[in-house]
């Protein structure tokens, strides 16, 4: 697996108030260090951004634990504060790289699903190697889902959507749940989706199932 990161490192932008929220709430609502030790069904959300979708998904399915990972520091503080305020207990927040989490701490065949909504499109050709949906990382994601587990992606960047279809189609452990695009599922609307729609972009959903 290549070590190329899928995000811009932009640490240290947290305000003092956000920092104290994180210090206070990570011990309670954060994903504990070490191997994933959660009982019952677990879904991983990669790149929760501001966490709007995370909250709605957690409310809609209280029996499933959502492990929500992002490297974006203000978003981490925002999601932690919202979970605390709304007494949502089935989310564990990982402030860090979801790829290393998957590689080092999630056992094979473990997850019910992986969701990544509007992952950074990295539109320039020389940046395609940073995309989350690239062959080595798709193989990693497939290996960590249980047979029958669902990988759900959405993007408003048409060339990335086409590339996703191709890369996912080439992974032998995944099969498309639909002929091409998935219908828009019960996915909550996110900030990036609204921005994309405002710019006239078409939003594509893809659902692939672990065989």
Ligand X SMILES: C[S@@+](CC[C@H](N)C(=O)[O-])C[C@H]1O[C@@H](n2cnc3c(N)ncnc32)[C@H](O)[C@@H]1O
30 in contact with ligand X (CB under 6 A): no
Active site includes 120? yes
Residue nearest ligand X by beta-carbon distance: 47
47 in contact with ligand X (CB under 6 A): yes
Beta carbon of residue 94, minimum distance to ligand X (angstroms, whole number) = 8
Residue 164: Cβ-neighbour burial (10 angstroms; 0-12, 13-18, 19+): buried
> Which letter does DSSP use for residue 6 in this model?
S
133 in contact with ligand X (CB under 6 A): no
- Taking the least distance from each CB to ligand X, the nearer of 42 and 179 is 42
Member of 29, 31, 43, 99 binding ligand X (CB under 6 A): 99
Binding segment for ligand X (CB under 6 A), chosen from 21-29, 96-104, 143-151, 166-174, is: 96-104
Neighbours of 13 (CB within 10 A): 9
The active-site residue out of 70, 97, 120, 156 is 120
Whole-angstrom CA distances from 74 to 12, 50, 69, 145 are: 9, 8, 13, 29
One DSSP character per residue, 171-188 reads -TTEEESSSSSBP--SPP
171 in contact with ligand X (CB under 6 A): no
- Taking the least distance from each CB to ligand X, the nearer of 129 and 211 is 129
Residue the block writes with tokens 């009982």: 39
- Taking the least distance from each CB to ligand X, the nearer of 104 and 148 is 104
Residue the block writes with tokens 């966490």: 51
The tokens for 166 are 């191709």
Using CB under 6 A as the criterion, which residues of the chain lie in contact with ligand X when the complex forms? 6-7, 46-49, 69-72, 75, 97-99, 117-120, 132, 190-193
């Amino acid at each position: 697996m290549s070590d190329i990161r899928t995000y811009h490192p932009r640490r240290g932008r947290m305000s003092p108030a956000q920092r104290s929220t994180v210090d206070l709430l990570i011990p309670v609502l954060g994903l504990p260090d070490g191997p994933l030790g959660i009982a019952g069904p677990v879904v991983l959300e990669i790149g929760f951004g501001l966490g709007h979708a995370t909250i709605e998904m957690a409310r809609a399915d209280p029996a499933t634990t959502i492990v929500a990972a992002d490297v974006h520091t203000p978003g981490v503080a925002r999601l932690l504060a919202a979970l605390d305020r709304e007494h949502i207990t089935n989310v564990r927040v990982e402030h860090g790289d979801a790829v290393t989490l998957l590689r080092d701490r999630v056992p094979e065949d473990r997850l019910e699903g992986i969701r990544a909504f509007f992952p950074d499109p990295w539109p320039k050709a020389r940046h395609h190697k940073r995309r989350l949906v690239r062959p080595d990382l798709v193989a990693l994601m497939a290996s960590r889902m249980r047979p029958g587990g669902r990988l759900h992606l959405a993007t408003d960047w048409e060339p990335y959507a086409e590339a996703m279809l191709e890369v996912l189609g080439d992974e032998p452990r995944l099969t498309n749940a639909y002929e091409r695009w998935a219908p828009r599922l019960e996915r909550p609307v996110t900030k990036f989706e609204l921005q994309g729609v405002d710019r006239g972009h078409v939003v594509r959903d893809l659902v692939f199932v672990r065989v």
